[in-house]
A and B are shown apart, each in its own frame.
Chain A
């Protein structure tokens, strides 16, 4: 990836982090940890990869994105706002009564949301349905879904994996945000989803493991996934939960908690500093 392109995407990722923290802070609740860990994935998909036009959010040939780990929608909402699906100020009304942005994605109320999600394990099945519809209709769109490494403890995720592998849904690409933490502690201690790569391989997927904060690696992995025929793809993205806000990084307590006033100021200072540095370079 060219430096200027990379810079553009890094700036987008940083703004997505800022938007996610804005949303969770103003909501006084929500899920910052997994929103921050997936910021580069959101940035790459919405600002480089997806055929997605805010002016035509229901275009039949658009690429689809399903946030199967729906609780990390503050990050997705920030990406959608940045892309122009709705005004940035909506982020500050996240989770408020009467507001457009719900605590988990609502496809009926929010432009740019391709599937209502939030109950873990369900979004990926819908993504399979979208990929299957594309095959049936001979359309060329691709379907991306983002799952959490905790989420894949849900049995339905493996029903969906078996389905995708069996039906050879090579227009389907799953990202697993492997940040290693879930609400009750490290995934290794709670549900034990590892080895994730071997599991997906056994279900008939082409599997890649990458650093989920490395935009070059994301680009290469998505590029490779597009060349794979007859198999769905799984990109296991090793990430840091809470990435970009010093006191949130790798802290299980920041899965689903809003920063207080002081914490918000610190987070914003750090993120805006990082943004300023990116923009100055």
Chain B
């Protein structure tokens, strides 16, 4: 078993890029003046000739990445989710998505856990935006080990990939020896038959805590880590609905267009089942320390546990 570490997935991203850079000369990393925040500075320092700081010009950065990709490079274009997926949405859509170019787009500091910077920087729409682009793979890894595996998988996959990164450090839990990352395949972290919690990204650690608490009360909740929002693991979701009946989804994203909606879309077509969506309820974020904000918005273990208890009483 790999050691437990407490790292933000943005740091894991930066470290993984350096590892990739050592073996793959086609990897090129781009940033938009946030290298110290997205942690691409690790790559910058290791491979300065393959690092391009595009300055505060995200739309151009995505276009430059597209041009590099047409010449056989594998660019990782990195910024805050608000800017790489948000501001440059149309560039991602038209210059990367439409020609299906081999560009990886990293959106760091996603969700409200950006903290003090507040609503303008707390992107709660990136998963919805990126999911809506045909052919885009959307990854939202949950801890250090998963992010490292996801970066490798994204580089190996030929085509556009969006990677969501978090600012907040998280205790690792995907460190068992049999952990395998496969794009499009969810991970069942705990079996259970009473209800299923499906979480993604930073929320997986919170959901894991919640499920452990519930276990002490005799509640047998299944926990699925859906690190890939697109293509979504339909089979795993349908099986969970069939075997446990009820579903609770947890995401650090607007409840419109993210994990909850993606799960609902699968179930209403294949196996209608009640779904409760925990997320940000169609509102903007706020300034404050990340942990306090997550609690205030109900994106914490105690609220997840409370919702599960409530649903099981219905």
Contacts and interface: CB of A to CB of B under 8 A. Distances in A.
Contact of A125 (B28, B52, B62): B62
Contact of A129 (B49, B57, B71, B90): B71
B94 A126 contact: no
Nearest to A131: B67
A133 interface: yes
B95 A126 contact: yes
Interface in B32-81: 49-50, 52, 54-55, 57, 59-60, 62-73, 75
B272 to A, nearest CB: 36
A132 B64 contact: yes
B200 interface: no
Given A119-B90, A133-B67, A137-B71, A128 B99 contact: no
Contacts of B90: 119
Contacts of B65: 129
Given A129-B71, A133-B72, A116 B52 contact: no
A101 to B, nearest CB: 15
Interface in A108-125: 108, 114-116, 118-119, 121-125
A21 interface: no
Contacts of B72: 60, 133
Given A108-B100, A115-B99, A163-B54, A128 B60 contact: yes
A119 to B, nearest CB: 4
B196 interface: no
A126 B101 CA distance: 11
B98 interface: yes
B89 to A, nearest CB: 11
Interface stretch (A34-42, A154-162, A181-189, A228-236): A154-162
A83 B202 CA distance: 54
Interface string A120-152: 011111111111111011000000000000000
Given A125-B67, A133-B67, A163 B60 contact: yes
Contact of B67 (A127, A155, A166): A127
Interface size grouping (class) on chain A: 35 or more
Q: Is the interface of B mostly helix, strand, loop or mixed?
A: helix
A125 B65 CA distance: 9
Contacts of A156: 57, 59-60, 63, 91
- In this complex, the member of A107, A128, A159 whose beta carbon has the largest number of chain B beta carbons within 10 angstroms is A159
A130 B71 CA distance: 6
B63 A129 contact: yes
A129 B66 contact: yes
Contacts of A121: 59
B81 to A, nearest CB: 19
A210 to B, nearest CB: 26
Contacts of A131: 67
A167 B67 CA distance: 15
Specify the main secondary structure of chain A where it touches its partner. Answer: helix
Contact of B73 (A115, A122, A123, A133): A133
B49 A126 contact: no
Given A125-B95, A132-B52, A162-B55, A114 B70 contact: yes
Given A128-B64, A156-B63, A160-B63, A133 B71 contact: yes
A116 B28 contact: no
A125 B59 contact: yes
Contacts of A126: 63-64, 66-67, 70, 95
Q: Which of A60, A118, A129 has the most CB of B within 10 A?
A: A129
Given A116-B99, A125-B62, A136-B49, A107 B67 contact: no
Contacts of B62: 125
B70 A115 contact: yes
Interface in A30-61: 60
Interface in A244-277: none
Contacts of B49: 136
A107 B99 contact: yes
Contacts of B66: 115, 125-126, 129
Nearest to A126: B67
Q: Which of B52, B69, B70, B90 has the most chain A CB within a 10 Å cutoff?
A: B70
A173 to B, nearest CB: 15
B50 to A, nearest CB: 7
A137 B73 CA distance: 10
A132 B67 contact: yes
B206 to A, nearest CB: 38
Contacts of B98: 106, 116
B60 A134 contact: no
Nearest to B90: A119
A162 B52 CA distance: 14
Contacts of A127: 67
A62 B262 CA distance: 43
Contacts of B68: 129-130, 132-133
Given A133-B73, A136-B50, A108 B60 contact: no
Interface of B: 28, 49-50, 52, 54-55, 57, 59-60, 62-73, 75, 90-91, 94-95, 98-100
15 contacts: A64-B70, A106-B99, A107-B99, A108-B99, A115-B67, A123-B63, A124-B63, A125-B62, A129-B68, A129-B75, A132-B68, A156-B60, A159-B55, A159-B57, A167-B52
A-B pairs, 4 with minimum CB distance: A129-B67, A125-B63, A133-B71, A159-B60
